[in-house]
Amino acid sequence: MKTNMMKRITILAMATIVAAVMLLTGTTQNTYASSEYTSTAAAGQYMMQNIINHSNTIKVSVVSSNDSGSEVSKSVFNNAIASSDIGDYYKYSVYNGYNVNWSYYTSNGNTHYEFTYKMKYKTTLSQDKAFEKKLNKTVKALKLSGKSNYAKTKAIYKWITQHVKYDYNSSSATKYTAYAALNKGKAVCQGYATLFYRMCDAAGVDAKVITGSSYGEGHAWNIVKVGSKYYNVDSTWDAGDSHYSYFLKGSKGFKSHSRASAFKTSSFTSEYPTAASNY
């Protein structure tokens, strides 16, 4: 088992990021927006298209019965992430925080907001395009078509643990990304986890990025569906090894890891049921 001295776990805690970079301010304005969404879900879909394009400034107008601009602005962003089939990728590998301010006016019991988000990203648009190109090439080379989910998962895990090294030295936010893991061959745990997530998605295997702690430090890993259950995998800890200690582990065999509270809720565990025993 690798110790903390051998691999220092590094992760951007998303709640901390948002708290650190989010500036919430509101001012009144007595004019209607030219284009206005009637739900934060619809507004979120629009916002996600802008995130995909790495827009530095995103303006979104939405009408809501909620008079808390802070809550509505967060809901728009959360719905943006939820609207994407690869939301975990944008949440953990692309997005790097935002500042938001807004103007508003009230009418007939509703509040009309115009939010202006100043976005930050871990990668550039050109890096994302380079990642997508190499992702497709890499997964295609594994020749996974027609194989079982177990075989696909094992092949992807083997590729990552053999080709990605841990980044001990970089101070750039890029080290947290799937781009760094795949295109540069070096990343921290968040990069390992988001690369595994994207490779599984490309191969038609359902997976999620999980954040929390391991051995007392912030960490990221994955759960992946094999059969009717999800299993824990941690390609960071198994990197460079041929005998895996963290591959397809049930909850009973994964005591070294503790999930963040968001991944312990009844809604999450019912949607992504984790096996108790190892595969």
pTM of the model: 0.87
Reported as a single tens digit per residue, the pLDDT across 173-212 is 999 999 999 999 999 999 999 999 999 999 999 999 999 9
**Residue given tokens 């569906």 in the structure block:** 225
Amino acid identity, position 91? K
Percentage of the chain exceeding pLDDT 90: 86
Q: Which domains does the chain have, with CATH numbers?
A: 14-121 (no CATH), 125-271 (3.10.620.30)
Q: Using an 8 Å Cβ cutoff, are 218 and 176 in contact?
A: no
Average pLDDT over residues 101-106: 96
Name every residue whose Cβ is closer than 8 Å to that of residue 267 and which is 6 or more positions away in sequence: none
Residue 26's pLDDT is what?
A: 52
Q: What φ, ψ does residue 53 adopt, rounded to 5°?
A: -85, 5
Q: What φ, ψ does residue 254 adopt, rounded to 5°?
A: -135, 40
* pLDDT band of 242, cuts 50, 70, 90: confident
How far apart, in whole angstroms, are the C-alpha atoms of residue 22 and residue 264? 25
Residue 184's pLDDT is what?
A: 97
How far apart, in whole angstroms, are the C-alpha atoms of residue 171 and residue 181? 15
* pLDDT band of 2, cuts 50, 70, 90: very low
- Half-sphere exposure (Cβ direction) of 95: Cα atoms closer than 13 Å: 29
Residue 87's pLDDT is what?
A: 97
Check pLDDT > 80 for residue 11. Answer: no
**Residue given tokens 């009309």 in the structure block:** 112
